Amino acid sequence: MSETIVRLSGVSKRFGPVEAVRNLHLTLQKGRILALLGPSGCGKTTTLRLLAGFERPDSGEIEIAGRTVAGGGRHVPPEHRRVGMVFQDYALFPHLSVQQNIAYGLPRDGKRADRIREVLALAGLTGLEDRMPHELSGGQQQRVALARALAPEPAIILLDEPFSNLDAALRARVRAEVREIITAAGTTAIFVTHDREEALSLADEVAVMLDGELVQSAPPEELYTRPVNREVATLVGEANFLPAEARGGHARCELGEVPLLQDARGPVEIMLRPELLRLHPSENGSATVTGREFYGHDQLVRLRLDSGTVLACRLGFGPRFKPGDRVEISASGPAVAYG
Ligand code: ATP
């Protein structure tokens, strides 16, 4: 049986008139990486700060590694929560070397030197121990911040928008490195992001927050294929919405008959991801290409049906559609139906 490392039970936090976090329930098992995903102002950072102990909840309870750290009249201070923090700007001590940064929070005992060596190796920093932070690349600074957070063997590490300071070219690589390091350390982690690609590619589980509330928490694949509502669908990827008439496991829409992920009946709205659509050049087609975004590995073709419905279709590298082309669209599904 896996062990629950974090449990938030009915946690709420208000700042004056703003309900930053509302009745939040969330659990996370040992060794898992959770992304808190949501638009600006939805309460992600407040949730992280509540976990770290920088804020006190107005109601509800927070448990970390089997111990109540907040709620029920209790407030364990941040330094006693077994929580490691990685801040957006890394917050490295500029006047301390890599090794001194990592050593900072460690007790001065016989195990200190070994632990520093271990963490340096884990974070791929061996050989850089005497460098100063300004002598490191952004990705290396990120790894030092991570190594410093991991050094005291926390029950969980919390990362606030950890990749926002890296340029796009570096981000994907550092992301993969960070995941490897966290996994190798066997640590549980929660990171905050407003970037869906980051959440889906890095996390084992993604918790979507909207307006202070947790709307859906699921593994990335499930979140992408079965978003609970329109807002989540749009937040985690490109989404097409079409009115339809459902009958059991199928729905009839402008694109024809589409299989559904779940049984439904009556008038619904269906959601189809762009990669579930196919385009066929046809002068007698029912849609017009309005635009094309080329991403190298794939492309997104924007379309308008003669009825006015706007859609997006994701295609591989090859086919070249241009604005004005007439096409026929088919949908393979399965689609998600919203009542
Ligand atoms: P971002 O991605 O922009 O950082 P977020 O999802 O992390 O946003 P929070 O920072 O948690 O959102 O803020 C949630 C809401 O609470 C916002 O409306 C914000 O203005 C408000 N808020 C957060 N901290 C405070 C504070 N200390 N005092 C007053 N209001 C606050």
CATH of the domain at 291: 2.40.50.140
Residue whose Cα lies nearest atom 1 of ligand 1: it is: 40
Do 101 and 143 touch, CB atoms closer than 8 A? no
Q: What pLDDT is recorded for position 1?
A: 62
What CATH number did the domain enclosing 26 receive?
3.40.50.300
Structure confidence by residue, pLDDT tens digits, 272-283: 999 999 999 999
The interface predicted TM-score of the complex, written ipTM, equals: 0.95
Residue 123's CB is within 10 A of a number of other CB atoms, namely 27
Given ligand 1 and candidates 14, 42, 163, 195, which is best to mutate, with the most ligand atoms within 8 Å of its CB? 42
Spell out a b/e string for 18-56, using b for 16 or more CB atoms within 10 Å of the CB, else e: ebbbbebebebeebbbbbbbbeeebbbbbbbbbbbbebe
Residue at a domain's end among 215, 235, 255: 235
Residue whose Cα lies nearest atom 26 of ligand 1: it is: 15
Atom nearest to 49 CA in ligand 1 = 11
Mean pLDDT of 239-248: 95
Is 160 in the same domain as 174?
yes
Domain span including residue 218:
4-235
**Domains of the chain: total:** 2
Q: What pLDDT is recorded for position 333?
A: 82
Those residues whose C-beta lies under 8 Å from the C-beta of residue 9, and which sit 6 or more positions away, are 25, 60, 61, 62, 63, 71
Say whether pLDDT at 107 is over 90.
Answer: no
Q: Which residue is listed with tokens 């190298």?
A: 296
Atom nearest to 48 CA in ligand 1 = 11
Residue at a domain's end among 204, 235, 266: 235
Q: What pLDDT is recorded for position 164?
A: 84
pTM above 0.80, yes or no: yes
Is 216 in the same domain as 268?
no
Residue whose Cα lies nearest atom 5 of ligand 1: it is: 41
Is 330 in the same domain as 284?
yes
One-letter amino acid for residue 21 of the chain? V
CA 110 to centroid of ligand 1, rounded, Å: 42
Residue whose Cα lies nearest atom 15 of ligand 1: it is: 20
Q: Which residues line ligand 1 (CB under 6 A)?
A: 15, 18, 20, 38, 40-46, 194
Is 280 in the same domain as 294?
yes
Is 159 in the same domain as 275?
no
Is 33 in the same domain as 157?
yes
Is 275 in the same domain as 152?
no
CA distance 69 to 75: 6
Is 244 in the same domain as 195?
no
Atom nearest to 42 CA in ligand 1 = 6
Question: Strand, helix or coil at 166?
Answer: coil
Do 209 and 196 touch, CB atoms closer than 8 A? no
Do 158 and 48 touch, CB atoms closer than 8 A? yes
